[in-house]
Structure 1
Amino acid sequence: MGLSDAVLSRLAFGIALLGVGVLLVAVVWGGAVYPDYDHARQFMSELGATGAVTQSKVNAWGYIPNGLLITVFSLLAAWILKRSALAVAFCLLLAGNGVGMMGAGVYPCDFECSRSDPSAAALLHDLFGGLGYLCAILGVGLAALWAWKNSAPRLATTGLIALIVSIVGFYGVVAEVELQGLFQRAMEGALATFMLSLGWALMKGLRARQ
């Protein structure tokens, strides 16, 4: 006998909470251990870069499990909301963000995320990370639209705010502005907030209309 949607929703929220938690702990711990690390000016990826003192722990206990947990959460959400094709689509895109995080953890960037003569792993890191972020941005946008159509105004508003912050944050990451780390963390924070909001809404009974 399969688990009910109510049970799956509680499980999904717990998984999302754990996923956000492991990433937060890994980044805070890594930043404290890494010599002279600046959260505002350095990418998160530098904590897991090849040759970094925090490489193995941050990747193995932070980025990879975060990506796995977010992927599982998103697939559970897709199952719970399976009556709506739009909902399934945005959940699969959010899962793509999780896969991107896992890939970025498996294939670290070069030391200090240097762009000069990048290794194959560094190129794969950028590919997984970039596609993951794009999936997240598109997924959140579709989720906000779905929530608005499904009479879930709070989730729709949260999604719209997360979408705007994520677009700005992604620009800062790609353009490598001086405060690139701050832009990235704003984007990660917005995405995490939306994931938790979606999980909470599901746990409180949000379902897709046929």
Structure 2
Amino acid sequence: MENRIKLARVLAVGSVGYAIAFYMAGGALKPGYSHTANFISELNATGTPWAQELGLFGFVPLGLLLAAFLWVAYPVGRAAGASRSGFLLLWSQPLAYIGVAAAPCDPGCPADGSSLQQVHNLLGLVTYFAAAAGFFLLSFHPRLAIGGRWFLRTAAIAWLGLFIVMLAPEFSPVRGLLQRVAEAILWSCVLLVAWRMLGRPDHASAAPNNSSKPTPLRGAA
């Protein structure tokens, strides 16, 4: 049990670290790429330099790392009821990363475009809404304190709001920045799961009360 918790936390930190390294390296490799104006998925936009390499060695390993974290964490996640559904909805995110590699966007990631672009748009729509629902449902986790509950509920609202705003044409100059704020929310929630939800199931302390046992009578000498 303890080793599984430690492994889950290592995978959580590894996922965050890999995401940061991948985004920075990918942005440096990509000619003319802007972390402020470009979506993250534009790192492997079809027909652009380094597209296949960044998809295969960037998005796929990132999705697999996050999937490994969720797989290791689930048995010790202590989720129940609504929070169990929230935990399962987090699987939308490794699906999104691997899906970006399988269905890359067109250059500029337009609302309309090729058939792959349409699959890409549908994938983004489904996985963003699934994650928002996941954050909210996770807030009902039995182990969370009130601060953790409100953090996850705020994260759900902010995540969905950022998704809607970043698609608005008037925010296109900063849509990449908005998406990176959303990414920070995602990884903050992953770390919260790793450090606030994992552990042994709670048990009522039912140690026997020795004082309640009858004291054997000693015979008179």
Please give the alpha-carbon distance, in whole angstroms, between the structure 2 residues aligned to 1:56 and 1:208: 47
Partner of 2:153: 160
Aligned residues: 202
Write the deviation string for residues 65-117 of structure 1: whole angstroms up to 9, x where unpaired: 2222222322333322356132321111001222122112211011232445x
Q: Is the 8 A contact 1:48 1:54 kept in 2?
A: yes
Pairing partner for 2:165 from 169, 172, 185 = 172
Partner of 1:9: 5
Pairing partner for 2:52 from 50, 56, 62 = 56
Pairing partner for 2:61 from 62, 65, 76 = 65
Gap change, CA 1:206 and 1:87, over 3 Å in 2: farther
Please give the alpha-carbon distance, in whole angstroms, between the structure 1 residues aligned to 2:202 and 2:70: 15
Post-superposition shift, 1:151?
4.3
Q: Is the 8 A contact 2:128 2:160 kept in 1?
A: no
Gap change, CA 1:200 and 1:115, over 3 Å in 2: same
Pairing partner for 1:124 from 96, 119, 128 = 119
Which residues in structure 2 correspond to 1:1-210 (within 5 Å)?
4=1, 6-81=2-77, 84-116=80-112, 118-144=113-139, 146-147=140-141, 149-176=142-169, 177-178=171-172, 179-202=174-197, 205=199, 207=201
Please give the alpha-carbon distance, in whole angstroms, between the structure 2 residues aligned to 1:35 and 1:83: 44
Q: Is the 8 A contact 2:144 2:197 kept in 1?
A: no
Aligned-residue identity in percent: 27
Q: Is the 8 A contact 2:37 2:176 kept in 1?
A: yes
> In proportion to residue count, which structure has more helix?
1
Please give the alpha-carbon distance, in whole angstroms, between the structure 1 residues aligned to 2:203 and 2:103: 40
Please give the alpha-carbon distance, in whole angstroms, between the structure 1 residues aligned to 2:144 and 2:191: 18
- The TM-score normalised by the length of structure 2 is 0.81
Q: RMSD between aligned alpha carbons?
A: 2.3
Gap change, CA 1:26 and 1:155, over 3 Å in 2: same
Q: Bigger radius of gyration, 1 or 2?
A: 2
Q: Which runs of 5+ in 1 are unaligned?
A: none
SS in 2 for 1:138: helix
Runs of 4 or more, structure 1, over 6 Å off, are none
Gap change, CA 1:208 and 1:114, over 3 Å in 2: farther
Gap change, CA 1:165 and 1:65, over 3 Å in 2: same
Gap change, CA 1:166 and 1:115, over 3 Å in 2: closer
Q: Which runs of 5+ in 2 are unaligned?
A: 205-221
